[in-house]
Amino acid sequence: MPKRANSFPEEVLEYVFSFIQTDQDRSSISTVCKSWYEIERWCRRRIFIGNCYAVSPRMLIRRFPDVRSIELKGKPHFADFNLVPEGWGGYVYPWIAAMASAYPWLEEIKLKRMVVTDETLELIAKSFKNMKLLVLSSCEGFSTDGLAAIAANCRNLRELDLHESDVEDLSGHWLSHFPDTYTSLVSLNIACLGSELSFSALERLVARCPNLRSLRLNRSVPLDRLANLLRLAPRLTDLGTGAYSAEWRPDVFAILSRAISGCKELKSLSGFWDVVPSYLPAIYSICPGLTSLNLSYATIQSPALVKLVSQCPNLQRLWVLDYIEDVGLDALAESCKDLRELRVFPSDPFVVEPNVSLTEQGLISVSEGCPKLHSVLYFCRQMSNDALITIARNQPNFTCFRLCIIEPKIPDYLTLQPFDVGFGAIVENCKNLRRLSVSGLLTDQAFDYIGTYGKKLEMLSIAFAGDSDLGLHHILSGCDNLRKLEIRDCPFGDKALLANAAKLETMRSLWMSSCSVSYGACKLLGQRLPRLNVEVIDERGHPESRPENSPVEKLYIYRSVAGPRFDMPGFVWTMDEDSALRVT
């Protein structure tokens, strides 16, 4: 190799590269020259794949021979709301099977919205002796039997997180499969499990794991068991309680308070199912240290909530039900000046009339009183353009703004106008906005504003909005950094998509359901853009059995270097050059 002034030995470069962690930076250095590409690919240890169908396991392994940490995402986000039919895909087994032989030293697996089977979990347990971290976020397809295999075999496991997964609960005894010699647990999140755990196994596990810092129990763990567990793990920083209810007894309360106050490092609390308000003061002693509080299952009323949050001056994240009401959010704005993230969920989402006094005023208060607030998810029943303009002016630092006005297509309740101007103010003022969900009555003008000002927008969610293709065209042609676009029930059709076809290759994915995109347009897109997978999802049968101009039910378009997938169910078709010929 010719000597160059800036040529270093491989080992030196590798050492330098080890300081470069983000995917973007890694990607950049790999494009400098061939030798850097080679060195980089041998020493890349962490992989993030935002869409499991964008690349194949074989391609991954061929390029990166020694990966220790992998993160994979499967189904599109709207799967969370049951818009993706059962059986659509997102199977992780092929990935695990390929990595079992290629990456025996794999330490971390993080999966989101993927189908994980017991067979998969057994393979993980068997294949990766060094498995330290397993996060299954919003996954499904496995049971407690699979968890038993993990418990029994993963001797080095530090973190097991079943975050919001849908697990088939066969028995609570899987916990007993952690051997008595197993002591490395640092973090356990089993809040999503439905059935009862083996409490004695849980207590023994907690007792023998001195490094346990995060424990999120499920609803079945009764309050009287909590004190014991906390005494066994006083160094917890993150606790998810089980059901927070019991018959009122002063001695039980005293024991619980003492146990909780013994956990001096607690920063984060969650759980709180079935809250009996008289037991809430048991947590008061650690409230000043709390940075994160999830009360989104707690059906407690505003006064109790106010009492609680006013004792948490260091709160950074609050998730709560709309029982907090405007008055509670006023109190929050007064007390929690360090608030960064707020989520307000609806307690009764399916009634038209409001059951609580939560309006746009609550959001105005927090946007005014909490200077660090940058992420909001807010469900409410009324909103006005004036309020949105005020909120945008109060808080130009929003990075994530998700507003869900519960009734689709309702206008500004004061003026009866659409919310175009209001959301326009949000995107214009909030120059760092990366994620936006809109709702209420909106015309194409709203999307003109979003396209004009939403230059940093990466993810946009739209439902029951817009008038015509022009709306979609504004977004696709204007939002330079758009990565994920998800749309449902909007009158957007072929013209905007075909006019902006090239844009789709710069995005991770586009989801459109109950819109007006025709089968003919889907075929055209699939044929013209080979690096896109254009998938038509239609449970009414093959789209060939309907006219070309007939709209498809659902459409999922994503860029991929792996070509069309082969694990599709009978109601999904990929549009490509051959699609016109294939009639299954």
Beta carbons of 290 and 267 less than 8 angstroms apart: yes
- Count of residues for the chain? 584
> Which lies closer to other proteins via its Cβ, residue 195 or residue 310?
195
Closest approach, Cβ 348 to other proteins, in A, equals: 7
> Which lies closer to other proteins via its Cβ, residue 107 or residue 412?
412
Closest approach, Cβ 70 to other proteins, in A, equals: 25
> Which lies closer to other proteins via its Cβ, residue 85 or residue 396?
85
> Which lies closer to other proteins via its Cβ, residue 94 or residue 491?
491
Q: What 3-state class would DSSP assign to 581?
A: coil
Two tokens, residue 70? 């992998």
| Rounded Cα–Cα distance for residues 202 and 139 (Å) | 23
Single-letter residue type at 508: R
Q: Which residue has the tokens 């609390």?
A: 269
Identify which of 425, 485, 435 has the alpha carbon closest to the alpha carbon of residue 456: 435
312: Cβ–Cβ under 8 A, 6 or more apart, which residues?
287, 288, 290, 293, 335, 336
Beta carbons of 504 and 511 less than 8 angstroms apart: no
Closest approach, Cβ 192 to other proteins, in A, equals: 7
Beta carbons of 56 and 63 less than 8 angstroms apart: no
Q: What 3-state class would DSSP assign to 168?
A: strand
> Which lies closer to other proteins via its Cβ, residue 184 or residue 516?
516
Dihedral class, residue 257 (left if φ above 0, else alpha if ψ from -120 to 50, else beta): alpha
| Rounded Cα–Cα distance for residues 3 and 302 (Å) | 72
Closest approach, Cβ 226 to other proteins, in A, equals: 12
**∠ CA 89-141-217 to the nearest 5 degrees?**
130
Q: Is 566 exposed, middle or buried (0-12, 13-18, 19+ CB in 10 A)?
A: exposed
| Virtual torsion, Cα 137, 139, 142, 143, nearest 10 deg | 50
- What's the DSSP call for residue 312? -
Report the DSSP pairing between strands 554-559 and 532-537: antiparallel
> Which lies closer to other proteins via its Cβ, residue 513 or residue 560?
513
Closest approach, Cβ 279 to other proteins, in A, equals: 13
> Which lies closer to other proteins via its Cβ, residue 122 or residue 412?
412
Closest approach, Cβ 174 to other proteins, in A, equals: 13
Distances in whole angstroms, Cα of residue 64 to Cα of each of 30, 90, 106, 286, 531: 12, 22, 12, 46, 22
Closest approach, Cβ 554 to other proteins, in A, equals: 8
Closest approach, Cβ 89 to other proteins, in A, equals: 18
> Which lies closer to other proteins via its Cβ, residue 80 or residue 505?
80
> Which lies closer to other proteins via its Cβ, residue 346 or residue 478?
346
Closest approach, Cβ 544 to other proteins, in A, equals: 14
Q: What 3-state class would DSSP assign to 326?
A: helix
| Rounded Cα–Cα distance for residues 105 and 418 (Å) | 56
- What's the DSSP call for residue 113? S
> Which lies closer to other proteins via its Cβ, residue 93 or residue 413?
413
Q: What 3-state class would DSSP assign to 10?
A: helix
Closest approach, Cβ 19 to other proteins, in A, equals: 38
| Rounded Cα–Cα distance for residues 241 and 270 (Å) | 6
Closest approach, Cβ 242 to other proteins, in A, equals: 11
- What's the DSSP call for residue 273? B
- What's the DSSP call for residue 399? S
Beta carbons of 297 and 319 less than 8 angstroms apart: no
> Which lies closer to other proteins via its Cβ, residue 64 or residue 401?
401
| Rounded Cα–Cα distance for residues 554 and 535 (Å) | 8
> Which lies closer to other proteins via its Cβ, residue 15 or residue 81?
81
Closest approach, Cβ 284 to other proteins, in A, equals: 22
Identify which of 551, 501, 500, 561 has the alpha carbon closest to the alpha carbon of residue 527: 501
| Rounded Cα–Cα distance for residues 235 and 238 (Å) | 9
> Which lies closer to other proteins via its Cβ, residue 95 or residue 464?
464
Question: Is the sign of the CA dihedral 476, 478, 482, 486 positive or negative?
Answer: negative
| Rounded Cα–Cα distance for residues 108 and 140 (Å) | 19
Widest distance between CA atoms in the chain? 82
Closest approach, Cβ 517 to other proteins, in A, equals: 9
> Which lies closer to other proteins via its Cβ, residue 222 or residue 281?
222
Closest approach, Cβ 147 to other proteins, in A, equals: 17
Closest approach, Cβ 514 to other proteins, in A, equals: 4
Q: Which residue has the tokens 């991770």?
A: 508
> Which lies closer to other proteins via its Cβ, residue 168 or residue 274?
274
